[in-house]
């Protein structure tokens, strides 16, 4: 049995699906579209049309529930919404205070995803897939992990740098994930591991 220091992710990629469990992949198939045309759509495996992309693309931090419900329908995102987090690492990060956590998130996003996707040879690989860092988990869960995911989930152009408003919006999404996972009622199926005693 794995302890918190040995949390193992199942074998998964950005295109993995479990359609029979209503967990899909909405990322466009490689080679089918130009990157500029990346748009969310039907599941690439089963053609399920279960996301209202017009609502998702609103980019409204006051309505993250709609976005987060849609994100949870994609298998890779669902995994990071429900995975057991590393208790020690997550809590230590948050002990610095919410304001410092938000600054750390902003700095991480600025350094990893603010540049144009065309300028990064690492796009799609810059955010490790590990439960050892709550910010990385949050980036995968909120589709703020790379510019391709940002393009098809948030409708932000791939071929230019993020604006300050876009960077603030994406930081807000990551911070909202942290708030939900550490302090609010987690979604069904989530393994909550933090103890406040």
Q: What is the pLDDT of residues 90-124, one digit of tens each?
A: 666 667 778 888 999 999 999 999 988 777 767 76
State residue 23 phi and psi, 5-degree precision.
Answer: -120, 115
- Please tell me the distance from the alpha carbon of residue 74 to that of residue 88, in angstroms, as a whole number: 28
The DSSP 8-state label assigned to residue 133 in this structure reads -
- Please tell me the distance from the alpha carbon of residue 192 to that of residue 73, in angstroms, as a whole number: 20
State residue 40 phi and psi, 5-degree precision.
Answer: -65, 155
Domain spans of the chain, in order of start? 23-183
pTM of the model: 0.85
pLDDT in tens, 17-29: 999 999 999 987 7
Regions of the chain where pLDDT drops below 70: 1-8, 30-37, 87-94, 121, 124, 184-197
> How much is the pLDDT for 113?
92
């Amino acid at each position: 049995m794995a302890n918190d220091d040995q949390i193992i992710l199942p074998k998964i990629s950005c295109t993995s699906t479990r359609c029979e469990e209503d967990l899909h992949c909405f990322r466009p198939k490689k080679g089918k579209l130009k990157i500029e045309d990346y748009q969310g759509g039907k599941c690439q495996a089963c053609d399920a049309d279960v996301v209202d992309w017009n609502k998702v693309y609103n980019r409204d931090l006051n309505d993250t529930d709609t976005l987060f419900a849609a994100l949870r329908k994609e298998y890779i995102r669902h995994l990071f919404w429900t995975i057991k987090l590393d208790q020690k690492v997550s809590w230590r990060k948050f002990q610095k205070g919410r304001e410092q956590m938000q600054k750390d998130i902003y700095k991480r996003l600025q350094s990893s995803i603010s540049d144009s996707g065309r300028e990064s040879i690492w796009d799609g690989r810059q955010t490790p897939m590990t439960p050892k860092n709550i910010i990385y988990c949050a980036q995968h869960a909120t589709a703020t992990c790379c510019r391709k995911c940002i393009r098809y989930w948030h409708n932000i152009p791939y071929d230019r740098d993020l604006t300050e408003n876009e960077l603030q919006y994406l930081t807000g999404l990551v911070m909202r994930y942290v708030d939900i996972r550490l302090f609010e009622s987690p979604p069904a199926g989530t393994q909550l591991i933090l103890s406040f005693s």
